Chains A and B, each alone.
Chain A
Amino acid sequence: QVQLQESGPGLVKPSQTLSLTCSISGGSLNNNNYYWNWIRQPAGKGLEWIGLIYSSGRTKYNPSLRSRLTISIDSSKSQFSLELTSVTAADTAVYYCARGGWNTAGDYWGQGTLVTVSS
């Protein structure tokens, strides 16, 4: 059974960088049949796709975040990561990692982690 777990600071100051890691167990990041997503959800609102990374390291980003966003992968550690620079209160959300594959972007999800941007 594949499991994903997000980790990182729950509080980030405005203008600083938000950094999160997603750790995978029960599966391999090297499997070319899958890709790895970050998705977020502000309180009481809908889901927003942030970006994805393939095992090759190729990425696709949401254009609305591209200038501030870096997603990276470390297959040796079974982890992929998110860095979002110059954060504001608008970046406050629950952040999820999820596995995508054939014809779906989210067959397995992490439990989510709340990140609050506040001074």
Chain B
Amino acid sequence: DIQMTQSPSSLSASLGDRVTITCRASQSVGNYLSWYQQKPGKAPKLLIYAASILPSGVPSRFSGSGSGTDFTLTISSLQLEDFATYYCQQSSSAPLTFGGGTKVDIK
């Protein structure tokens, strides 16, 4: 199985901050990497797929980069609605696996 390791597991940030979350795969997943945002009591929402592509409707302050084993999710200027938990997931090979999540809360 491919293990996905996210860091940090939590962070505190202020409105307007630039936030970076990393995700490392135990072996190459190419660009088969997605990022999701989850708010309490809600289903995850797709933020980024193919490592760097934003689906329609996702604000441009979100960006993703990386390939192979190392990936990054960046929020360029944190907004109130961005306080949530973020997960990476690889879809390169089964079993599809998620990172452990990064909780972003208000400093």
Contacts and interface: CB of A to CB of B under 8 A. Distances in A.
A105 B44 contact: no
Contacts of B34: 103-106
A52 B95 CA distance: 9
Given A46-B98, A47-B98, A60-B95, A106 B44 contact: yes
B87 A60 contact: no
A111 B43 contact: yes
Given A37-B96, A47-B44, A105 B55 contact: no
Interface string A38-75: 00000000111100100000001111100000000000
Contacts, number: 63
Measured as residues with beta carbon below 8 angstroms from the partner, the interface class of chain A is: 20 to 34
Contacts of B101: 46-47
Interface SS, B side: loop
A75 B96 CA distance: 24
Interface SS, A side: strand
Contacts of A100: 91
B50 interface: yes
A96 interface: yes
A10 to B, nearest CB: 15
20 contacts: A47-B36, A47-B44, A47-B98, A49-B89, A49-B96, A52-B94, A60-B95, A61-B95, A62-B95, A63-B1, A96-B43, A96-B44, A103-B31, A103-B34, A103-B50, A104-B50, A106-B34, A106-B44, A107-B46, A109-B44
Interface of A: 37, 46-49, 52, 60-64, 96, 100, 102-107, 109-112
